[in-house]
Amino acid sequence: MSASNDQFHGTTILTVRKGPDVVIAGDGQVTLGQTVIKASARKVRPLGAGGPEGHKVIGGFAGATADAFTLFERLEAKLEQYPDQLLRACVELAKDWRTDRYLRRLEAMMIVADAKTTLVLTGTGDVLEPEAGVAGIGSGGTYALAAAKALLETDADAEAIARKAMAIAAEICVYTNENLTVEKLSA
């Protein structure tokens, strides 16, 4: 599955689930029009409090940075309300995102994952679980998705697949660079 929208043309976020691992990788390029503003932004991060076992949810975003951070904060609140229930927390966030006047105007997409589930969230109320555990969003999302799907059949692990697929996307998409942030969870 790849979700792409002309509004979200400044980034590439990819998730790969293989074996016991799930990885979300994001490039670091931030553009304003045709100008690179920053090459090392962090668009992927752990979500929630963490605790002694570490973080249980990771996420990445494409779209307006302030909007994405607002959504991350809202999702973290939903995860506190519904601990260990990523799907329910995301559905509740999607309901708010569609019905709240302020949230409805936010321009971002997210990929989130825990040890068992990977989801793509959009402002139109979609909470989508990708087939084969691979999804890409943003301008280079389609390129990274295609590369990752091809690499799934190799012996490479989730992180190696994500890194190679992101490198391929960076060669094709001018809005994607090779400065990656990678977060990984194991079942």
| 49-97 confidence digits (pLDDT tens) | 655 455 699 999 988 777 888 888 989 999 999 999 999 999 999 888 7
Q: Is the Cα torsion angle 83, 59, 128, 53 positive or negative in sign?
A: negative
The count of C-alpha atoms lying within 13 angstroms of the C-alpha of 151, restricted to the half-sphere facing its C-beta, is: 25
Positions marked catalytic: 11
Query: What CATH number should be reported for the domain holding residue 157?
Result: 3.60.20.10
**pLDDT, position 9:** 52
Task: Look at residue 187 and tell me if it is in a domain.
Answer: no
In total, how many domains does the chain have? 1
**pLDDT, position 6:** 41
Task: Look at residue 99 and tell me if it is in a domain.
Answer: yes
Task: Look at residue 18 and tell me if it is in a domain.
Answer: yes
Give the pair of three-digit tokens for residue 178.
């090779």
Distances (CA, A) of 131 to 18, 95, 109: 12, 23, 18
Task: Look at residue 77 and tell me if it is in a domain.
Answer: yes
Task: Give the closest residue to 28 by CA, choosing from 37, 15, 17, 16.
Answer: 37
In this prediction the pTM is: 0.90
- Write b or e for each residue in 123-144: b if 16 or more Cβ atoms lie within 10 A of its Cβ, otherwise e: beeebeebeebbbbbbbbbbbb
Distances (CA, A) of 11 to 31, 114, 116, 157: 8, 22, 25, 23
Task: Look at residue 95 and tell me if it is in a domain.
Answer: yes
Task: Look at residue 51 and tell me if it is in a domain.
Answer: yes
- Residue 31: phi and psi, rounded to 5, are -120, 150
Q: Is the Cα torsion angle 92, 85, 73, 123 positive or negative in sign?
A: negative
Q: Which domain holds residue 119?
A: 2-180
> Where is mean pLDDT largest: 6-15, 67-76, 94-103, 155-164?
155-164
Task: Look at residue 154 and tell me if it is in a domain.
Answer: yes
User: Angle, to 10 degrees, between the axis of helix 86-99 and the axis of helix 65-81?
Assistant: 130
